[in-house]
Amino acid sequence: MVFPHFFRIPCSCLLLCALSLAAGPSAHGEEVTEEKLKAIYNRAFRAPTIEQTSAVLKTGNKLKTATADVLELEANHRFDARSHATVSLFDIRMNHPINYYYDFVNSLDAHKNEGRIGTQRVEAEHQFRGTWEVNQIAGADNAKAFWRRAIGSYTGGAYRDDVYSDPYWGTVTRQQFRNGGEG
């Protein structure tokens, strides 16, 4: 299939600025910290389709091209080889988004441009690399007592604790329910 040349025109452009900085020794004098800053700006557009413009003559709504501007700023700090934190700011704005509506006067499907819409967001994240184990939390006696009361109330006491060893989870306590009070 051969496409006309206008299909090759990019419909968005991307400007990327990235800055990476490495600082000297940390306050501990042992590890090297690293800070990274990143800024990304993106502008995309979407021209109205033929279907969307087909009702323009009857409704009088001339459609404008919808555009979206996205700005992202990110700062990253590595504390040591196992820990780093990231803070990101996002600002997303759409100008002239194309929206569908039903034109009752002319009895047809139509589209119109809306005003500016957008969203802003802040994200904060801290990552810590290490070996994690999932086990019964030591000292969680109140939680154990609560669940035993709940299970006992639900089953009328027809359960027993069973301790077994699982290759992944380690030593696990589970409750086995008895049928009709039988062990």
Rounded CA-CA distance 127/158 in Å is 44
Residue 148's pLDDT is 77
131: helix, coil or strand? coil
**Sign of the alpha-carbon torsion through 124, 129, 133, 136:** negative
pLDDT digits (tens, 9 = 90+) for 87-100: 999 999 999 998 88
Rounded CA-CA distance 28/26 in Å is 5
pLDDT above 60 for 15: no
Q: What is the mean pLDDT of the chain?
A: 74
Is this structure's pTM higher than 0.85?
no
DSSP string, 72-85: EEEEEEEEETTEEE
Residue 154 CB contacts under 8 Å (≥ 6 apart), including other chains: none
Residue 140's pLDDT is 65
User: Which residue has better confidence, 132 or 175?
Assistant: 175
Q: How confident is the model at residue 23 (pLDDT cuts 50, 70, 90)?
A: very low
Tell me if 143 sits within 8 A of 137, measured CB to CB. yes
What long-range pairs does 107-113 form, CB within 8 A, spacing at least 24? 108/55, 108/58, 108/59, 109/55, 110/55, 110/58, 110/59, 110/61, 111/48, 111/52, 111/53, 111/55, 111/61, 111/63, 112/59, 112/61, 112/63, 113/61, 113/63, 113/64, 113/66
pLDDT above 50 for 114: yes
pLDDT above 60 for 26: no
Least confident of 8-12, 26-30, 90-94, 177-181: 8-12
State the DSSP code for 142: H
* Residues comprising the chain, all counted: 183
State the DSSP code for 132: -
Residue 42's pLDDT is 87
Tell me if 98 sits within 8 A of 113, measured CB to CB. yes
